[in-house]
Chains A and B, each alone.
Chain A
Amino acid sequence: MDAPDDVIHQPIRLRVMAALTACDPGDEGLDFTQLKKLTGATDGNLGAHLDHLARAGYVEVTKAFVGRRPRTTVKASAQGRAAFARHVAFLKSIIAGA
């Protein structure tokens, strides 16, 4: 790979993908609050980045109610995992080639 993945390259989206791919594929993923804490993003900012990732098919966003509270869970798709692995390999190749 000789170019970065434009979707993942943005710092907040890179952190989101790093966090989601650190979970096992069989897990339920991470909820919105956890992702906010991990990325340091605001609600609106994180929501916009998740939309971007979802449109690219890299994450699956599930909205449900736990009791009366809404809960948004985000999970990396197989396509997202592969794209993230390629992007990390690209970054490593830059360092190796320096």
Chain B
Amino acid sequence: MTVRSDEAAAMLADVDSVVARVKQSRLYRTAALIMILWGVVNLARDVLIALAPAWFGPRWFLIDAIGIIGTLALLRWVVEPGARFPLRMLAAFCLFYAFGWIWANFLGGFGPREQMVFWPTLFLFGYALAGLWFGAAFSAIGLGLTALILVAYVWSGAAFALWLAAVSGGGFILCGLWMRRA
């Protein structure tokens, strides 16, 4: 059997394309798991803030801490069992919250309503940017949910916290489920 060089090049291109799709699919699955986890975290946090704003408002970080621990556990024991502790992800969380805290409390001086919009949209901004390198689904989710959160900020009135729970909780869960199948 003889193979011409143009046939060999086409086969190698086919191999590269399949490998790229497998890698993207695995990345989507990991991102989807994290997204579903954060959907549950966001839903719990925003519902608790809606029910007991005076107590949970200033203590929202307690729920987020569960999300951080959950994400690290997912990466360490579910996505890649036996892998080393995901230090890079921990560092990413530290940078994310440090940057967000500086803007929300020091430079921006955001009120409670602005804080509730700021944190999920900051997270989603990361998704929108990630989409430029890792697949359009990230950008679609980042931009779509950000738009819904901004709509909530402008028009939801007294139902703001519950709307936010639906969008940043339910929305994250639904987008995560969709991403698993993408």
Contact = CB atoms under 8 A, between A and B. Distances in A.
A4 B19 contact: no
A22 B23 contact: yes
Interface of A: 3-4, 6, 9, 11, 14-15, 18-19, 22-23, 26, 30, 34, 38-39, 88, 91-92, 94-95, 97-98
B14 A14 contact: yes
A88 B21 contact: no
Chief secondary structure at chain A's binding surface: helix
B157 interface: no
- The bracket for how many chain B residues form the interface is 10 to 19
Contact of B12 (A15, A39, A91): A91
Interface stretch (B3-11, B95-103, B115-123, B135-143): B3-11
A9 B14 CA distance: 12
Interface in B63-109: 82
B15 interface: yes
Nearest to A93: B8
Contact of A6 (B1, B4, B23): B1
A18 B1 CA distance: 21
A9 B21 CA distance: 20
Contact of A94 (B8, B14, B15, B22): B8
Contacts of A6: 1
Contacts of A23: 22, 26
